Structure 1
Amino acid sequence: MASSWGLVRIAANAGLSTAQWMVHTTVQTGQRVVRGLAAGEPPVKIAQDLGAELRSAAQSVLGVQPVPPEHHASTDELRARGAELLRRSSDVHFVEDTHPAFERILDELTPDEARIVRFLCREGPQPTVDVRTNRPLGIGSELIEAGLSMIGRQAGVRNMDRTNAYLNNLFRLGLVWFSREEVEPSRYQVVEVQPEVQAAMAKAGRAPKTIRRSIHLTPFGEDFCTTCLPLDS
């Protein structure tokens, strides 16, 4: 409904005869509500129908073409596309230089995320730590902070506080993976003295526990980097 009234405001700002249109529409809307309730229609359905009707009416007043519904491929269309992929795979003359997803991925990366990917490609897997409260046998241990690392700082990102969100998006895109395996033990000492890790350990209370993990580029991520990013600049 909010978007429908937004269209009404646009019509008013455009200098159209909105007052007359609104009076007519309000009358029609009231009649629609009365008819619907009398027929026993659920209020939610009535509201949805009214929203669609108001949008259609406003678009007509504004001369705006409605957006066509998104096309959903049928089973036959999907199978035909799959068959074409298999045909190409057996064609010795067909050469696919890059993965078709690379272009879409570039559209879904921030500049900071591109820096992180390039850094991981250059420097390899990076250490991360989780900070937990220390409880006997680990029973009742509480996670204080997860995925603390120096990746954002070392990659030179502008928004340090978004580093974990960046890494989550890179994971979603299939470029990185979070491993339970450790890298060289000495590399964690530098991470564990960082201010954010020390703050988490202080929050965890007496004898906090750190869990050592690591972040890696996937093979797909390595291919993406070498194909799409200038690694020598």
Structure 2
Amino acid sequence: MSADPSGSNGAAEALREGVGLLRIAAGAGFSTVRWMVRTTVHTGTRVVRGIAAGESPVKIVTELGVDLRSAAESALGAGPPPDPAPTGHHSSAAELRARGAELLRRSADVQFVEDMHPAYERILGELTPDEARILRLLAKEGPQPTVDVRTNRPLGIGSELIEAGLSMIGRQAGVRNLGRTNAYLNNLFRLGLLWFSREEVEPSRYQVVEVQPEVQSAMAKAGRAPRTVRRSIHLTPFGEDFCRTCLPLDD
């Protein structure tokens, strides 16, 4: 079978173009050396494997021209960037044990004073302004009442939950996005700053919650003789210390 002359010319042109681009890239700076070395190794391997497999020389040259062009464009910044260097550091077990040993050493040092928990700085970066308002409310006013609205069934068997965690916490805290109040509370729970208790606060405080529009709407959905389950939200001891340390509570 005779080789296609036009194919040979196209392959040679692609190869010349790729080599020319690599020459330009070589003068662009030391950062291109890694691309040059990788491309050279790939080219030699491709030729040997192609010949051993009986491939057409035209096909081999054409593919090499495309590969060289792609490598050169990447080196010049016109194509896909080089593989990024690994980011971040994953500590080994030995490193983690060394850090643990350092903590134990500090705990035995009577002169070591820890002003605040090291997690507080990270937690501040994971709070919204509205969540800070909720924390301040809980720190200054104490536990807050919440109610769940359920359908009423004999002995509670088959009772369906209509709405959970309805409260006045968002309103009392003055949050700007009232509809996100429960999402805010979930995030504060995730951070270990508050907990959802089954215990009740003063019974009279629930009366104000139960006449709120969202509670009345949930009770209407629950049908005949809906049932409310009274609960409360508290700061954890960790949350109390966080608020004392990080929030201005005297304002």
TM bucket normalised to smaller = 0.7 to 0.9
Q: Select 1:106's aligned residue among 114, 124, 142.
A: 124
- Give 1:58 shift: 6.0
- TM-score computed with the length of structure 2 as normaliser: 0.68
User: Are 2:93 and 1:75 equivalent residues in the alignment?
Assistant: yes
2:198 equivalent to 1:184 = no
Number of paired residues?
Answer: 179
Instruction: Work out the CA distance in 2 between the residues paired with 1:60 and 1:93.
Output: 57
1:115-130 equivalence runs, <5 A: 115-130=133-148
Matches within 5 A, 1:54-73: 61=77, 66-73=84-91
Match of 1:197 in 2: 215
- Bigger mean CA deviation after superposition, 93-102 or 57-66: 57-66
Match of residue 50 from structure 2:
none
Shift of 1:64: 6.7
Matches within 5 A, 1:145-224: 145-224=163-242
Change in CA separation of 1:145 and 1:94 when aligned onto 2, cut-off 3 Å: same
For residue 231 of structure 1, what is the aligned residue in structure 2? Answer: 249
- Contact kept, 8 Å, 1:59 with 1:65, in 2: the verdict is no
The code of the aligned residue for 1:219 comes to P
Inter-partner Cα distance in structure 2 for 1:101 and 1:60: 44
After superposition, the C-alpha distances for 1:31-83 in whole angstroms (9 at most, x for unaligned) are: xxxxxxxxxxxxxxxxxxxxxxx9xx869735677152432111111110000
1:85 is aligned to 2:97: no
RMSD: 2.0
Q: Whose radius of gyration is greater, 1 or 2?
A: 2
Q: Aligned residue for 1:39?
A: none
Tell me the SS of whatever aligns to 1:118: helix
Once residues 236 and 217 of structure 2 are traced to their aligned partners in structure 1, the CA distance between those partners, rounded to angstroms, is 31
Give the % identical residues.
Answer: 81
Deviations 1:74-129 (A, max 9, x none): 11111100000000000001000010000000000000000000000000000000
Q: Which runs of 5+ in 1 are unaligned?
A: 1-16, 18-53
2:46 corresponding residue in structure 1:
none
**Normalized against structure 1, the TM-score is what?**
0.73
Note the 1:23-38 alignment, pairs <5 A.
Answer: none
Relative distance call for 1:187 and 1:67 in structure 2 (3 A) is farther
Q: Is the 8 A contact 1:59 1:66 kept in 2?
A: no
* Aligned counterparts of 1:184 and 1:85: Cα–Cα separation in 2: 43
CA distance in 2, matches of 1:159, 1:59: 49
Change (3 A) 1:107 1:64: farther
Once the 2 structures are TM-superposed, how far is the Cα of residue 140 of structure 1 from its aligned partner? 1.1
Q: Is the 8 A contact 1:191 1:197 kept in 2?
A: yes
Could you say what secondary structure the match of 1:92 adopts?
coil
